[in-house]
């Protein structure tokens, strides 16, 4: 019988335990955190569900900040675990206002958990997590941050902010694979989880991962790591280390700055008006009055430019310029801004495409000097 022929995608070497541990340490170094780092062998949405399942129990009170559908999911998972959840909901597609968070916290006699998304890829909002974390810590609440999208695009000082659990994903700003994710867990978070009813064995249990991997000295792999994803994550970490995380963050910030300068030169105010409240992952641009979002996207596609759709109740009101990972670069940014402007022009909206191109070029020129 002839052997099946070799296939690079199928005949992948296993990802070994020693590399698994050292990859976790390299990620911890990139994040500059002393917290434990656990890999979740699934896309980041499962990491978030695992966090909620692992910290929820009846009798707890949580504030959950909602600035995109991800916040809505987290709320549902906490409630399923018996937590009394108070949602603090932002204006559609906008970051949360700190005053709203303050008011919600002040209304509660006690607060056990506060959950918030850092940077949103869905609408370009950036939440003020430093201020929010400080408010929550002042009430001795466990702070959970969804940094799946923001890691690598915004500074994320996990330990100095005192955030207890952070979920990250490799597939956005880090430019890595989508099939695995990670969470950091502080000492305080482990103490909280230890007081939560066990539900092992479960793919959602952080405690299972702790006992099966951390507490056994990280010598025995917790389950079978998907090798394609782990080798790809290692390659992504190699690339991030080579570039430097600070430079990666700066590259995303520059892409956002240039996108926003380009929009304003077109004569259009970005969807998120305050520069400090805009994420560096995507820049959302408004769909002008009288224009259909689908038609705008289709018109930009005629120029060969892919504009992202909005989500949920803002689906018809914005389009997104994706500048995450490799797209956080001059070529992608200028293409998005000029493509959006050209499409608007074709649809009869007066915009200054030349000025927009110049503004993007100048922003980059000044940064490169
Ligand atoms: C992308 C993203 C996720 C989830 O990522 P999946 O790839 O869909 O699992 C979670 N939270 C935020 C803020 C994200 O941008």
**Structurally, how many domains does the chain consist of?**
2
Rounded distance from Cα 166 to ligand 1 centre (Å): 13
Domain boundary among 242, 268, 289: 242
Rounded distance from Cα 361 to ligand 1 centre (Å): 31
Query: Residue 151: which CATH number?
Result: 3.40.640.10
157 & 292 share domain:
no
Report pLDDT digits (tens) over 48-79.
999 999 999 999 999 999 999 999 999 999 99
264 & 133 share domain:
no
47 & 184 share domain:
yes
- Residue 341 falls within a domain, yes or no? yes
Mean pLDDT value across the chain: 96
Contacts of 212 (CB under 8 A, 6+ apart): 220, 222
Atom of ligand 1 nearest to the CA of 47: 9
Domain boundary among 207, 242, 277: 242
69 & 203 share domain:
yes
193: domain range? Answer: 13-242
- Residue 303 falls within a domain, yes or no? yes
Rounded distance from Cα 45 to ligand 1 centre (Å): 6
Report pLDDT digits (tens) over 293-345.
999 999 999 999 999 998 888 899 999 999 999 999 999 999 999 999 999 99
Domain boundary among 219, 242, 265: 242
Rounded distance from Cα 68 to ligand 1 centre (Å): 10
Does residue 369 have a pLDDT over 60?
A: no
- Residue 8 falls within a domain, yes or no? no
Count of beta carbons in the 10 Å neighbourhood of residue 14: 12
255 & 236 share domain:
no
Atom of ligand 1 nearest to the CA of 172: 1
Report pLDDT digits (tens) over 165-202.
999 999 999 999 999 999 999 999 999 999 999 999 99
Cα angle 129, 135, 138; round to 5 = 135
On the 0-12 / 13-18 / 19+ scale of CB atoms within 10 A, 313 is exposed
219 & 177 share domain:
yes
- Cβ(360) to ligand 1 under 6 A? no
- pTM for the predicted model, two decimal places: 0.96
């Amino acid at each position: 019988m002839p052997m099946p022929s070799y296939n690079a995608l199928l005949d992948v070497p296993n990802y070994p335990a020693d590399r698994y541990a050292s990859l976790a340490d390299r990620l911890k170094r990139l994040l500059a955190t002393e917290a434990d780092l656990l890999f979740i062998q699934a896309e980041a949405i499962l990491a978030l569900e695992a966090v909620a399942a692992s910290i929820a129990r009846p009798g707890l009170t949580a504030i959950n900040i909602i600035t995109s559908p991800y916040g809505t999911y987290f709320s549902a998972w906490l409630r399923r675990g018996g937590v009394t959840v108070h949602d603090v909901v932002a204006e559609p597609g906008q970051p949360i206002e700190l005053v709203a968070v303050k008011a919600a916290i002040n209304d509660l006699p006690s607060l056990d958990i506060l959950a918030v998304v850092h940077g949103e890829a869905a609408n370009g909002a950036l939440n003020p997590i430093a201020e929010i974390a400080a408010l929550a810590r002042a009430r001795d609440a466990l702070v959970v941050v969804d940094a799946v999208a923001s890691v690598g695009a915004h500074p994320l000082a996990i330990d100095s902010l005192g955030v207890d659990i952070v979920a990250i994903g490799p597939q956005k700003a880090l430019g890595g694979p989508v099939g695995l994710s990670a969470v950091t867990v502080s000492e305080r978070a482990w103490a909280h989880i230890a007081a939560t009813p066990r539900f092992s064995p479960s793919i959602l249990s952080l405690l299972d991962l702790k006992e099966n991997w951390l507490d056994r000295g990280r010598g025995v792999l917790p389950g079978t790591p998907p090798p394609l994803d782990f080798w790809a994550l290692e390659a992504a970490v190699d690339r991030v280390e080579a570039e430097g995380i600070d430079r990666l963050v700066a590259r995303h910030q520059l892409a956002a700055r240039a996108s926003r300068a380009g929009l304003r030169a077109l004569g259009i105010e970005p969807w998120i008006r305050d520069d400090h409240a805009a994420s560096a992952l995507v820049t959302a641009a408004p769909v002008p009055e009288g224009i259909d979002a689908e038609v705008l996207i289709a018109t930009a596609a005629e120029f060969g430019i892919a504009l992202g759709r909005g989500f949920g109740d803002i689906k018809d009101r914005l389009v997104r310029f994706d500048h995450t990972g490799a797209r956080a670069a001059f070529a992608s940014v200028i293409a998005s801004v000029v493509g959006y402007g050209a499409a608007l022009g074709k649809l009869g909206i007066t915009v200054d495409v030349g000025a927009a191109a110049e503004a993007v070029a100048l922003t980059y020129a000044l940064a490169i000097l």
